[in-house]
Amino acid sequence: MNIFKKLKTTHKTRSGALDLLKYIGPGLLVTVGFIDPGNWATNLAAGSSFGYALLWVVTFSSIMLIIIQHNVAHLGIVTGLCLAEATNKYIRKTVSRPILGSAILASISTSLAEILGGAIALEMLFDIPIKAGAVIITIACIIMLFSNTYSKIERWIIMFVSIIGLSFLYELTLIDVEWTNTAKSWVTPSFPDNSLLIIMSVLGAVVMPHNLFLHSEVIQSREWNLENENVIKKQLKYEFYDTLLSMGIGWAINSAMIILAAATFYKQGVVVDELSQAANLLTPLVGNNAGVIFAIALLFAGISSTITSGIAGASIFAGFFNEAYSPKDIHTKIGTLLSFIPALLLIFFIKDPFQGLIISQMLLSVQLPITVFTQIYLTSSKKVMGKHVNKKSTTIILLSLGTLVTILNIALLISLF
């Protein structure tokens, strides 16, 4: 039985508020993925290096995320297939295999950041060495996923998001923020010298390929496509509110990270190149509690995002075999290990954990156009979507976003060489 599938309910007319509550959930699970340790690293690097100047990247990427995640959720609602299954079913194997293969690599890159972040938090809290902490985080998450414990703690994962958000709200009350400058930077694009790597990293950390596979998996597992047309239409409507709310929460938390770094480290002329350094520096700047709260929130972020990364990787691998995610299935288990084990091994060879987090997010942004253009092809196909196929205006917007990300990636590669 799919771990996301809810108890069967009778779909009767209810008040709008109660209906909305019933549909809230998938977006919040996706939110876990873009307030992960990779985001922490890139946001702290952005704020400490460039002040408030790169807040616009969070705004842009969040808007982009809402559009793209909303679109991929439609794929799951209408077809009952996740993105990986649809790719394998509707795209010829010579093309679909490389697409899913690159998505697996993106999942490994994601897991590396998540596991590494959790390990850094364990080191900050308990002086556990990074490599030992990475093993602990990996084993704990594998046990939770293989034992299907995750289905029992889904609400705890959502609670983790709340704890992380409240932690940053608390820390913002301890510092002096230039709110006028902040508001301007949220909506005014700027490209300071040597900022392209950070811009691409922030973009890759917010709009993540594995989250597109994860969102479609969570949605399709509810099997709304098997219901009548009225239920499908209602789900299409309320899913957007779920996505908008969830991505808005993520935007606020990511913004808070940059604001915190800008108002503390940038103002002091300190460039943060380690997460543990950030916690240590916060203590003398904003009080004893700040460093501990920072580390606890990072640990919650690392564990919860490692779990969702494992689910996404397993979903992608299962898609090779036209299967949905199921913790009892061998392909799901192999996919989970395929996402975690290479990431864990890479951690043993990383000399600079913080730089490893940033590079991992940059690699995600490089893979992102592949996933986005695949998604656009599928949701723009009448054969796949039927009467729920993308409108021309939607396709144009999605193609524009995909093209923009591709151009930024090319610019990044040119700057590196």
pLDDT tens sequence across 117-175: 889 889 888 989 989 999 999 999 998 888 865 556 566 667 777 777 777 777 787 77
Distance CA 142, CA 327 (A): 11
pLDDT at 151: 54
Q: What angle do CA 45, 46, 47 make, to 5 degrees?
A: 95
Encoded amino acid at 267, one letter = K
pLDDT at 128: 92
Q: What angle do CA 209, 159, 127 make, to 5 degrees?
A: 85
Distance CA 70, CA 390 (A): 12
Q: What angle do CA 360, 70, 246 make, to 5 degrees?
A: 70
- Report the helix count and the strand count for the chain, using DSSP H and E: 19, 0
Q: List helix spans (H) across 80-149.
A: 83-90, 93-126, 130-146
Distance CA 384, CA 220 (A): 14
- 199: phi then psi, degrees, rounded to nearest 5: -60, -45
Percent of the chain at pLDDT > 90 equals 21
Question: Which residues have a Cβ under 8 Å from the Cβ of 267 and sit 6 or more positions away?
Answer: 51
Question: Which residues have a Cβ under 8 Å from the Cβ of 278 and sit 6 or more positions away?
Answer: 44, 261, 265, 272, 294
Distance CA 164, CA 142 (A): 23
pLDDT at 220: 63
Encoded amino acid at 80, one letter = G
Distance CA 218, CA 330 (A): 19
The secondary structure of 229-269 as a DSSP string is HHHHHHHHHHHHHHHHHHHHHHHHHHHHHHHHHIIIIIHHT
pLDDT at 1: 44
Q: What angle do CA 43, 44, 47 make, to 5 degrees?
A: 85
Among candidate residues 69, 310, 411, the one with its CA nearest the CA of residue 207: 69
> Can you give the pTM of this predicted structure?
0.77
- Dihedral of CA atoms 14, 20, 21, 23 in degrees, nearest 10, equals 110
Q: Does the residue 105 lie in any domain?
A: yes
Mean pLDDT on 70-95: 88
Q: What angle do CA 214, 384, 309 make, to 5 degrees?
A: 10
Neighbours of 59 (CB within 10 A): 17
Q: Does the residue 8 lie in any domain?
A: no
pLDDT, tens digit (0-9, with 9 covering 90-100), for 377-401: 999 999 998 888 999 999 999 999 8
Among candidate residues 46, 287, 342, the one with its CA nearest the CA of residue 172: 287
- Asked if residue 307 lies in contact with residue 145, where contact means CB atoms within 8 angstroms, the answer is yes
Most confident listed range (17-21, 192-196, 221-225, 255-259): 255-259
Q: Does the residue 408 lie in any domain?
A: yes
Structural domains of the chain, count: 1
Residue 337 has pLDDT above 90, yes or no: yes
CATH code for the domain in which residue 177 is found = 1.20.1740.10
Q: Does the residue 267 lie in any domain?
A: yes
- Asked if residue 204 lies in contact with residue 365, where contact means CB atoms within 8 angstroms, the answer is yes
| Torsion-angle region of 92 (φ positive above 0: left; ψ -120 to 50: alpha; else: beta) | beta
Distance CA 78, CA 150 (A): 26
Among candidate residues 158, 226, 154, 212, the one with its CA nearest the CA of residue 4: 154
Confidence of residue 183 (pLDDT cuts 50, 70, 90): very high
Confidence of residue 9 (pLDDT cuts 50, 70, 90): very low
Confidence of residue 240 (pLDDT cuts 50, 70, 90): confident
Q: What angle do CA 159, 163, 165 make, to 5 degrees?
A: 115
Q: Does the residue 1 lie in any domain?
A: no
- Dihedral of CA atoms 360, 291, 31, 111 in degrees, nearest 10, equals 30
What mean pLDDT is reported for the chain?
79
Q: Does the residue 177 lie in any domain?
A: yes
Q: Does the residue 385 lie in any domain?
A: yes
Helix or strand run (H / E) with residue 326:
none
Q: Does the residue 10 lie in any domain?
A: no
Encoded amino acid at 329, one letter = D
Tokens of 366: 């490089």
Confidence of residue 221 (pLDDT cuts 50, 70, 90): low
Residue range(s) defining the domain that contains residue 98: 16-416
